[in-house]
Structure 1
Amino acid sequence: MPTQPPPLDKSSSAKKPRRRRTKRKTPSPSDNEGMPQRSPRALSTSLESIQIYPRTPKTPRSGDSRYAPEDAIDEVELSLLNDDERLEDDRILEEEMGRLAPTRKPISQKDKRSMGLLVILYLIQGFPLGLALGSVPFLLREHLSYSQLAIFSLASYPYSLKLLWSPIVDSFFIPSIGRRKSWILPMQLIIGTIMLVISFNAEEYVNNPSDHVYLISAAFTLLVTFSATQDIAVDGWALTLLSEENLAYAATCQTIGLNTGYFASFTVFLALNSQTFADKWNIPRLPLGTYLQFCAAFSFAVTLWLLFIKEDKETTEEDLNIVTVYKTMWKIVKLRHVQTLCILHLFSKIGWAATDAVTHLKMVEKGLGREDLAIAVLIDFPFQIFGGYVAGKWARGEKPLRPWMYAFWPRLVLALAATLLVYWFPKPPIHLAFFALLVVQTVTSSFAGTIQFGGISAFHTRIADPVVGGTYMTLLATFTNMGGTWPRYFVLKGVDAFSIANCHIKDIGGELTVKAAECVSEHGKQSCTDLGGECITERDGYYIISAICLGLGVISVIFHMIPTARKLQSLPMSKWKVYQ
């Protein structure tokens, strides 16, 4: 990426010695400031030994004393011209700038095919993530407490810790297969195999989860780990698979593919797995084991298809070794603005952490049918796709973080609305007006989330280096994912910690009240019922946790998130380079 010239200090320009005017034949890189430019990604890399052919002139390093800032020289020259000469110079400059200004080209067929490939690869990631973060917790909630669900929630952590082994993915590969395919192919085979193995005993795991909670957590932890490894390779491939003018659409491909797989494993599966839904539509119920076998077969089929797709070789003078990549990663981490961005990511989702982790579970607990939830989210799915497209177009400009910043306030307001919906949730059956309100809240909230995801992903692709693209993208994505992952465990634990539920048992002599921690789980409620009692929730910790998250979210957005994002967005691309 080119190093931008330092800003002109106009107060010192008058002190420069007078220079003889010379007519320029071609503008310098600094002359192009203010006009649309191509992405600087292909100009240079974070490793100086690796060459990628430039598409635009390379700007001299700002720290090299042999080069003077061109804009400073131009201003001195123009200040010494008379009116006619200045007009003539401006006319020549405008003609040259108009000739060199890039025009936005339509998406090529090659890029369209590449986008289709990326969507399918991200789709495979969405299958296990939709199970681990969506449908399986719903199935387990019928038998486990929120504290036990917190243990299973640890299965999502590898997706946020993939930074630790991303340099390995960037370093080791088989040249004859391809740098990215060397990892994508085996990871997808392993993902399919794990799903196939789990499918044989899936019904036993779901029906008696208390006996297998650690085994289930370990199995899905492995599944998410290999999905995260595949994601590292796909993210790196996206940087070279798409042309530079369409790199922002990599985030759109990820949004479409990941959300499609996620919703297939979450809402579509929950609906088809529900016996009530199956009886209503006179179709057979879809067991978890059967769905896992379908996902495994799809993963195997895509892996076979990839064998016939050739990966373009990257122009390098030497192979990247793991030590070099880890050193490069460490240099990236040491950049002050990268550290600022990572801290920003860690706390950016705290405002709606309770909504993401608990709200839908609470609604199902209060009587919302799983098939009704599936219908609500299925209605939302087209808006997710549209949101990904809008975010991709919106983030193509010079301010890719703009949609990310603008969506903060709608997400906080909608998180509050979700909490109020749980509080005012009616007793079944749910009337149509309330269900319509639930659908509106779900659609608008997910649309705002998709806009934020597209904006921040576009910003990542804008600043990442394609040679260590997997590592750079993964570093940033790690903290983005961790911002939504690390609060989940504490939110689930906090709901039980702040909840007070007692088992009221009536007998001949009166009423006996027993304080029972397990009254917060369906299993505990059933045990209380077997004793002839009823679980009464005197204080629901969900509302306390939700209020804490919303309060922290509002404070952080006002005083940290938006001001910091504006500063980071205004930095020149050269500031994100490891080597200047």
Structure 2
Amino acid sequence: MPRPHIVSPGLSTSLDGVQITPRTPRSTRLNHEDADSDYVVGGGSAEEVEMSLLAEDERRRADAGFAEYADHKAPLSSEDKRAMALLCILYLIQGVPIGLALGSIPFILREHLSYSQLGTFALSSYPYSLKLLWSPIVDAVYLPSVGRRKSWIIPMQIIIGSVMLWMSFTVQDLMDNAHEHVYSLTAIYTTLVLISATQDIAVDGWALTLLSEENLSYASTCQTIGLNTGYFASFTVFLALNSEAFSERWGIPVLSLSTYLRFWSIICFGVTIWLTFFQKERKEITKGEDTSVAGVYKTIWNIIKLKHVQSSLCMHLLAKIGWATHEAATSLKMVEKGLGKEDLAIAVLIDFPFQILGGYLAARWSRGGRPLRPWIWAFWPRLGFAFLGAIIVWRFPKPPISTTFFVFLVIQTLLGSFAGTIQFVGMSAFHTKISDPVIGGTYMTLLNTFTNLGGTWPKFFVLKAVDYFSVATCQVNEAGSSLTVKAVECVSEQGKVHCSDIGGTCITERDGYYITTGLCICMGIVALVAYVLPIARKLQALPLSKWRIYS
């Protein structure tokens, strides 16, 4: 899916200098003297010197003991289970509008817009990848009487519900004439994603204090379950129930976009009422550090100045180039080739339980000393599925498609999204591990901004490139003669209708999708081998002290 992966399709904010009581211990923070003493002659750390003084067999036993401790899996307490349920619900709330903006709406708009216009609409997903810009405000400004996280979660969910309720009365008219209202639709969904991203900042920060330290890796599992559930409800379920063909096949009424938005606005209001009156938030005690907005922005800048954080930023910006075209355009191309939207929805619906299973397994796999193992492992399969997707589009049979081919599509979808889920959870677990809980929300937002931006920034350019490299003509037959006109409009369904209205037929002489896919895969392989994998292994091997800010 064009997930943002979602998907992914993927956290948020805590103040500098906050100590959480009583469960989550404050991470070790060194002063300048400690920082200096952490390094000794030759650049080794004090820990390395201490280990070097041990006998060889003692050192092996110490290493084995550390590995055993690192891989220790504490059981989930009832308090952690309740916290996980709460996190899943809150992530579900933000997953619903994101599933619309990044999932089903582009498929519906494909009938009216070109890929370039879809590229414009794709800008609506950018706030989710740029939330770091206002996360310090969410971190620093709150009402102590309400709670640091609830001060933002409650109003954001009220706004999400209100916007969806308002959209339920107006958005259908805009959708019916989408080619005239591209910018209006983009503005509306950008606003909805912006508010959802703000809610996500607070929820991600809360995740670091709701769960006990030994089970923090399950925060990414909750995010996977909640976001994917909301995303699939808005993408898979809605796309199927909105299809007339699906409705006729199963004898059920068509679900309109207005009704769907109205339903989720009510759910959003209900969850917000429950959160307001029945869910208490643990108080956080500050230790005198600067928790102002300016102070948190300064903290972000201090994090960015860390050498290894800069390497992580570059790694994330390059990591997802290889499958950028696949995630942005392959499913759209299949629908263009004749795959029914309801069939696509069924394929993704079958994939849903495997997403949940993949998130759980990846969370367990990510625990211990090498949390990036799943992320590194899944790179080559994802590049392979991007190449396979282009082959499928090229060899796509004329409708109706056979059961055998549909089963093949389902298997391809399952394996591809499973690899994506493994990468998402693995990287989230790594970010959770290296983030200092004292400034955990800010740290997590910064790191996850890098991750999200790596998948978001290519999308606009990829969709523009598909049209740029495409060559299409409108061939009109008149009085026994043939007139061929180069028509940019023929790259959209609306343009094909216009060509047909004048008695012509759109002919695609060159499909820019294949060129763009090839360029992305080649660039992805080069970036992966030359930079991404070596840097990932290096970052994973660093001690936690290298990721801390010394004050």
Does TM-score exceed 0.5, indicating one fold? yes
Structure 1: which amino acid aligns with 2:137?
I
Letter in 2 for 1:309: Q
Equivalent in 402, 406, 409 of residue 373 of structure 2: 402
- 1:263 aligns to 2:232 (yes or no): yes
Deviations 1:86-115 (A, max 9, x none): 99x999x99x99999996431000000000
Letter aligned with residue 400 of structure 1: P
Contact 1:256–1:385 at 8 Å: present in 2 too?
Answer: yes
C-alpha separation in 2, matches of 1:565 and 1:347 = 12
Change (3 A) 1:105 1:76: closer
CA displacement at 1:171 relative to structure 2:
0.4
Whether 1:578 and 2:549 are equivalent positions in the alignment is yes
**What is the identity, as a one-letter code, of the residue corresponding to 2:197?**
A
Q: Distance in 1 between matches of 2:444 and 2:200?
A: 10
Larger relative contact order (CA 8 Å, sep ≥ 6): 2
Alpha-carbon distance between aligned partners in 2 of 1:114 and 1:65, rounded to the nearest angstrom:
36
Q: Write out per-residue CA displacement over residues 294-343 of structure 1, whole angstroms, 9 at most, x where no aligned residue.
A: 11111111111111100111222347211111111100011111011011
* Alignment check: 8 A CA contact 2:67 2:369 kept: no
- Aligned mates of 1:331, 1:489 — CA distance in 2: 31
Distance 2:485 2:153 in 1: 54
- In the comparison of the two structures, how many residue pairs are matched? 527
Q: Does 2:89 match 1:120?
A: yes
Contact preservation (8 Å) 2:74, 2:215: no
Rg larger in 1 or in 2? Answer: 1
Residue of structure 2 in register with 1:24 after alignment: none
Q: Which residue of 2 aligns with 1:9?
A: none
Q: Distance in 1 between matches of 2:430 and 2:28?
A: 22
Residues 169 and 470 in structure 1, CA contact (< 8 A), matched pair in contact too? no
Task: After TM superposition, give the deviation of residue 468 of structure 1 in Å.
Answer: 2.4
Tell me if structure 1 keeps the 8 A contact 2:93–2:268.
Answer: yes
Residue 286 of structure 2 is aligned to residue 313 of structure 1: no
3-state secondary structure, aligned to 2:286: coil
Distance 1:244 1:539, change over 3 A: same
- Pick closer, same or farther for the CA change 1:528–1:184 going to 2, 3 Å: same
Which whole-Å CA distance do the structure 2 matches of 1:432 and 1:261 have between them?
29
* 2:495 is equivalent to residue 546 of structure 1: no
Residue 455 of structure 2 aligns with an amino acid whose one-letter code is: G
Report the alpha carbon displacement of residue 466 of structure 1 after superposing the two structures with TM.
2.4
Deviates more, 1:139-148 or 1:100-109: 100-109
Are 1:64 and 2:33 an aligned pair?
no
CA contact (8 A) 1:387 1:450 kept: yes
CA distance in structure 1 between the aligned counterparts of 2:195 and 2:29, rounded to whole angstroms = 41
Please report how far the alpha carbon of residue 460 of structure 1 lies from its aligned counterpart in structure 2 after TM superposition.
0.7
Aligned partner of residue 227 in structure 1, secondary structure:
helix
CA contact (8 A) 1:498 1:544 kept: yes
Tell me, in whole angstroms, the C-alpha distance in 2 between the residues paired with 1:322 and 1:59.
Answer: 21
Q: Are residues 207 and 75 of structure 1, via their aligned partners in 2, closer, same or farther at CA, if it must alter by over 3 Å?
A: closer
- Range moving further from structure 2, 138-147 or 318-327: 318-327
Structure 2 counterpart of 1:329, which letter? I
Task: Verify: 1:461 aligned to 2:432, yes or no.
Answer: yes
1:356 aligns with 2:335: no
Residues 46 and 467, structure 1, Cα contact 8 Å, conserved in 2: yes
Decide whether the 8 Å contact of 1:351 with 1:552 is kept in 2. Answer: yes
Name the residue aligned to 1:420: 391
Q: 1:218 aligns with which of 183, 187, 195?
A: 187
Whether 1:330 aligns to 2:292 is: no
How far did residue 213 of structure 1 move?
1.3
**Which of 151, 166, 187 is the matching residue for 1:197?**
166
- Which of 266, 271, 277 does residue 246 from structure 2 map onto? 277
Q: After superposition, what is the alpha-carbon deviation per residue over 1:516-540, rounded to whole angstroms, capped at 9, x for unaligned? A: 1101111110011111110000100
Task: Note closer, same or farther for the CA distance 1:512–1:148 as it changes in structure 2 (3 Å cut).
Answer: same
Q: 1:184 aligns with which of 149, 153, 174?
A: 153
Cα pair distance change 1:218/1:70, threshold 3 Å: closer
Query: Counterpart of 1:222 in structure 2: which amino acid?
Result: T
State how far apart, in whole Å, the 2-side matches of 1:266 and 1:160 are: 20
- What pairs with 1:34-433 in structure 2 (closer than 5 Å)? 47=16, 61-64=34-37, 69=46, 72=49, 104-307=73-276, 308-318=278-288, 320-433=291-404
1:69/1:208 CA distance change after superposition, 3 Å: closer
Q: Are residues 419 and 101 of structure 1, via their aligned partners in 2, closer, same or farther at CA, if it must alter by over 3 Å?
A: closer
Task: Give, in whole Å, the separation in 2 of the partners of 1:56 and 1:200.
Answer: 48
What are the Cα deviations for residues 176-216 of structure 1, in whole angstroms up to 9, with x where unaligned?
11111100000011111111111102221111111221111
Determine the C-alpha separation between the residues in 1 that align with 2:313 and 2:429: 16
Q: Does residue 531 of the first structure (1) align with residue 502 of the second (2)?
A: yes
- Specify the SS of the correspondent of 2:36: coil
Q: 1:495 is matched by which residue type in structure 2?
A: V
- Change in Cα spacing, 1:223 to 1:73, as seen in structure 2 (3 Å) is closer
Q: 1:534 to 1:108 in 2, by over 3 A?
A: same
How far off is 1:50 after superposition? 5.5
C-alpha change, 1:378 and 1:56, in structure 2 (3 Å) is closer
Distance 1:99 1:207 in 2: 60
Distance in structure 1 (CA, Å) of the matches to 2:55 and 2:450: 48
**Partners in 1 of 2:514 and 2:151 — Cα distance?**
48
Kindly tell me: are residues 522 and 410 of structure 1, through their superposed partners in 2, closer, same or farther at Cα, counting changes over 3 Å? Answer: same
Bigger mean CA offset, 409-418 vs 61-70: 61-70
Rounded to whole Å, the distance in 2 between the matches of 1:540 and 1:246 is 48
CA distance change for structure 1 residues 57 and 157 in 2, over 3 Å: closer, same or farther?
closer
Query: Does the CA-based 8 Å contact 1:170-1:468 persist in structure 2?
Result: no
> Percent same amino acid at aligned positions?
59
Which TM-score applies when normalising by structure 2?
A: 0.90
Q: Which SS does the other structure have where 2:349 is aligned? A: helix
Alpha-carbon contact 1:145-1:522 (below 8 Å) kept: yes
Post-superposition CA distance 1:262-305 (Å, at most 9, x none): 01100110000001111111111000011011111111111111
Q: State whether residues 414 and 445 of structure 1, in contact with CA within 8 Å, keep that contact through their aligned partners in structure 2.
A: yes
Distance change >3 Å, CA 513–CA 330, structure 1 → 2 = same
What is the letter of the counterpart of residue 155 of structure 1?
S
Q: Distance in 1 between matches of 2:528 and 2:151?
A: 41
Taking only aligned residues, the RMSD between alpha carbons, in angstroms, comes to 2.7
Equivalent position amino acid for 2:151 in 1: S
Please tell me the residue identity of whatever aligns with 2:341.
Answer: R
Query: Is the alpha carbon distance of 1:66 and 1:285 closer, same or farther for their aligned partners in structure 2, counting shifts above 3 Å?
Result: closer
1:562 is matched by which residue type in structure 2?
L
Indicate yes or no: 2:520 matched with 1:564: no
Deviation per CA, 1:225-259: give whole Å up to 9, x if none. 01000111111000111001100000010001101
* Matching residue of 1:486: 457
